[in-house]
Structure 1
Amino acid sequence: MHRALTSERYWRDRLAEVGGEGAELGHAVTGEGTIDVEMAQAIPAEHLPPIVSKIRPGDLTITRTETWGALVGGRATGTFSARVEGLPGEVTGTLTLAPEGTGSAITLDGRVEVKLPLIGGKIEAVIAEQVVELLDAEHGFTEGWIAANG
């Protein structure tokens, strides 16, 4: 799992598969068992909930970053963030890869914050729901990619 998460090829394949139309890998800097990734993804306006479209018309461009450190004692840690162009908010958090049973598991601890009076909480809930859906899709891709690329 760690070898996949620190492989530039994995990130390019993942973004091509689940990144959406026009997704780009801004950079992937790989060190000895580490990686820093920046991605740009777009969500077409027609796929946005009305509450988001009211305050930010048009397509949304999301810039995401993810880092993974070296594997130490069977564990690795990382960070992630996402920012939406034109919205005063962000998604941030930490990642932990650790052995679990005969495989491994990634634990994610994150938060969504949108700094808009009165409606910020509603938008945070919508974003959190969308992030969970995206993470599920990325999880499914990762399982298949590891099985195919071992």
Structure 2
Amino acid sequence: MARRIDHSAHYPHPVSTVHTALTDERYWRAWLQEVGGPGAKLDEVTVGDGTIDVAMTQSIPAEHLPSMVTKIRPGDLIITRTESWHALQGDHAEGTFSALVDGTPGRLRGTMSLTADADGSLLVMEGEVEVKLPIFGGKIESVIAEQVIELIEAENNFTARWTASI
């Protein structure tokens, strides 16, 4: 059974400013350097007219993982992520994200929506984590969901600082 991940972030900047950041290759390079973790790298970036498709690799060191996870999958977790943002349509943009953990039957995927609100913009992420392992799958989903929320919060803090400098 999949575990839901729902998260939102408010930015005190217009949607166009936040969208400009999220579709800028420089943002992603800086983001990975600051938030990406050890060995994080940008594998591929395709920038279009107000769009972006990003593929990256990140890792979570084994010492930061619960023993329940390292017993099933020893060593660092290598995560391949993608994120895509579509062109801005007025004060609204849509995106998608996904992640696969190397050597595990698990995945993360979802959608993102960037919209205007009263004082700036709102980014809403909705997704799910699914780990297809008998007995332990649900527990591992909970751990991954918790780690993803922590990462998303760090990403939101970075995005807030980045957009303030635009």
Match of 1:46 in 2: 63
Return the offset for 1:27.
Answer: 1.0
2:79 maps to 1:65: no
Give the counterpart letter for 1:37 in structure 2. V
Give the counterpart letter for 2:148 in structure 1. V
- Counterpart Cα distance in 1 of 2:131 and 2:20: 34
Match of 2:115 in 1: 98
TM-score, structure 1 normalization: 0.98
Return the offset for 1:45.
Answer: 1.0
Return the offset for 1:90.
Answer: 0.3
Return the offset for 1:102.
Answer: 2.4
TM-score, structure 2 normalization: 0.88
Match of 1:78 in 2: 95
2:143 maps to 1:126: yes
- Counterpart Cα distance in 2 of 1:129 and 1:47: 12
State the aligned residue count. 149
Q: Deviations along 1:43-91, whole A, 9 cap, x unmatched?
A: 1111111111010001110001000000002100000001100110100
Give the share of equivalent positions with the same residue, in percent. Answer: 60
Return the offset for 1:121.
Answer: 0.3
- Counterpart Cα distance in 2 of 1:60 and 1:102: 38
2:45 maps to 1:9: no
Which is bigger in relative contact order (C-alpha 8 A, separation at least 6)? Answer: 2
Unaligned runs of 5+ in 1: none
- Counterpart Cα distance in 1 of 2:55 and 2:102: 15
2:2 maps to 1:20: no
Return the offset for 1:24.
Answer: 0.0
Match of 1:108 in 2: 125
Stretches (4+) displaced over 6 A? none
